Amino acid sequence: MALDFKKLTLQDALDLAILVEQEARERYEEFAYQMSTHATPAAADFFRLMMTYEAKHATQLAARREALFGSAAVRVNRNDLWDVEAPEYDEARAFMSAKSAMAVALEAERKAFRFFDDALHSITDANVRALFEELREDERHHEALVIEAISKQPDDAAGAQFEGDEPVAQ
């Protein structure tokens, strides 16, 4: 179902933002597990780190939501969004390096920035606009952090150079 951003209330917008962070947390958790089972601990560690960041963001947003709206029923649901900040499933690859894993997170942060930026074109409610502008800037900040982390990684092309066996059915 396509979201109608014009109709979003601040409560809906906060709930949506929480779902975005929760979806990203779950995806990073899945990716960390995938890397663990494919003997790629450095990539697994990085995805685990991203998982904790996304969980923290979701918790912070949930606290704001509770302070403003208490336990009011949630009106948005998971089917209203797909992969806003969560990296897409086909971004993961067996035996990817930590640097490749960071590149996946970088694209995910940029994708989230584009989501909030695009949505802002349709949003008229001042409070919702302020929230989405804040979230958009958060994504820009996260992007910068990931770029910095990538710059500290040694040059590698571990995925391209890997000459071992392909993944094995388990």
Nearest residue (CB) to another protein, 82 versus 155: 82
Q: Can you read off the two tokens belonging to residue 167? A: 């993944």
From the list 64-72, 84-92, 108-116, 119-127, the region that binds another protein by CB under 8 A is 84-92
Residues 101-160 binding another protein (CB under 8 A) are: none
> How far is 1 from 131, CA to CA, in rounded Å?
22
> How far is 71 from 61, CA to CA, in rounded Å?
14
Q: Which of 107, 113, 63 is nearest to 87 (CA)?
A: 107
Contact status: 170 vs another protein (CB under 8 A): yes
Contact status: 83 vs another protein (CB under 8 A): yes
Q: At what angle do helices 10-37 and 41-69 cross, to 10 degrees?
A: 160
Shortest separation between residue 94's beta carbon and another protein, angstroms: 5
Tell me the one-letter amino acid at 82: W
Nearest residue (CB) to another protein, 163 versus 166: 166
Count of residues near another protein by CB under 8 A:
24
Residues 13-72 binding another protein (CB under 8 A) are: 30-31, 33-35, 37-38
Nearest residue (CB) to another protein, 79 versus 151: 79
> How far is 94 from 34, CA to CA, in rounded Å?
8
> How far is 3 from 9, CA to CA, in rounded Å?
12
Contact status: 163 vs another protein (CB under 8 A): no
